[in-house]
Amino acid sequence: MAYKVDMRDIHFNLFEMLGVETLSDFERFKDFGPDDYKMILSEAEKLAVNVIAPTLSITDKDGARFVDGKVVVPEAVREAFHTFNEGGWGAMAAPPEYGGQGLPACISMAVGDILTAANTGFGAYQGLTSASANLIATEGSEYLRETFCEKMFAGQWGGCMVLTEAQAGSAVGDIKTTARRDGDTYLLTGNKIFISGGDHDLTENIIHVLLARLEGAPPGVKGLSLFAAPKYLVNPDGTLGAFNHIQATGVEEKMGMHASATCSVSYGEDGPCRAWIIGEENQGIQVMFKLMNHARLGVGLQGMSQAAAAYQLALDYARERIQGVRIEDMKDPNAPRVPIVEHPDIRRMLMNQKAIVEGTRCLVYTCAFWLDRVRNTRDEEERKRLNNLVELLTPVCKAYSTEMGFKSTCDALQVHGGYGYCEEYGVSVLVRDAKIGTIYEGTTGIQALDLLGRKVAMRSGALFMNFVELLTDFAAKHRDHPALGRHVAWLDEAKDTLAQTTMNLGARAMGGTPGNALLYATPYLFMFGHVACSYFLLHQAMVAFDKLQQLYAEAGAQDEAGKKEILARHPDAKYYFNKVQTAKFFVTNILPGVYGIAKSVESDDTSPIEALF
Interval 380-394: pLDDT, tens: 999 999 999 999 999
Residue 156 confidence (pLDDT) above 70: yes
Q: 230: helix, coil or strand?
A: strand
- Residues recognised as catalytic: 441
pLDDT of residue 489: 98
Q: What is the mean pLDDT of residues 46-75?
A: 95
Residue 514 confidence (pLDDT) above 80: no
Smallest CA-to-CA distance from 299 within 439, 448, 133 is with: 439
What is the DSSP code string of 524-559?
A: HHHHHHHHHHHHHHHHHHHHHHHHHHHHHHHHT--S
pLDDT of residue 326: 93
Residues written for the chain? 613
Q: For the full predicted model, state whether its pTM sits above 0.75.
A: yes
Smallest CA-to-CA distance from 356 within 9, 76, 4, 602 is with: 9
Helix (H) or strand (E) holding 304: helix 284-320
142: burial class by Cβ within 10 Å (0-12, 13-18, 19+)?
exposed
Cβ(166)–Cβ(191) below 8 Å: yes
| Pairing mode of beta strands 205-214, 157-162 | parallel
Q: Per-residue confidence at 1, pLDDT binned at 50, 70, 90?
A: low
Residue 510 confidence (pLDDT) above 90: no
Q: 384: helix, coil or strand?
A: helix
Distances (CA, A) of 340 to 182, 321, 327, 332, 432: 68, 6, 11, 17, 25
* Angle, CA of 104, 109 and 110, to the nearest 5°: 100
Smallest CA-to-CA distance from 541 within 262, 329, 354 is with: 354
Residue-wise pLDDT for 329-369, tens only, equals 989 989 999 999 999 999 999 999 999 999 999 999 999 99
Smallest CA-to-CA distance from 367 within 388, 340, 345 is with: 388
Q: 399: helix, coil or strand?
A: helix
Q: What is the mean pLDDT of residues 111-129?
A: 95
Q: Per-residue confidence at 95, pLDDT binned at 50, 70, 90?
A: very high
Smallest CA-to-CA distance from 308 within 3, 16, 1 is with: 3
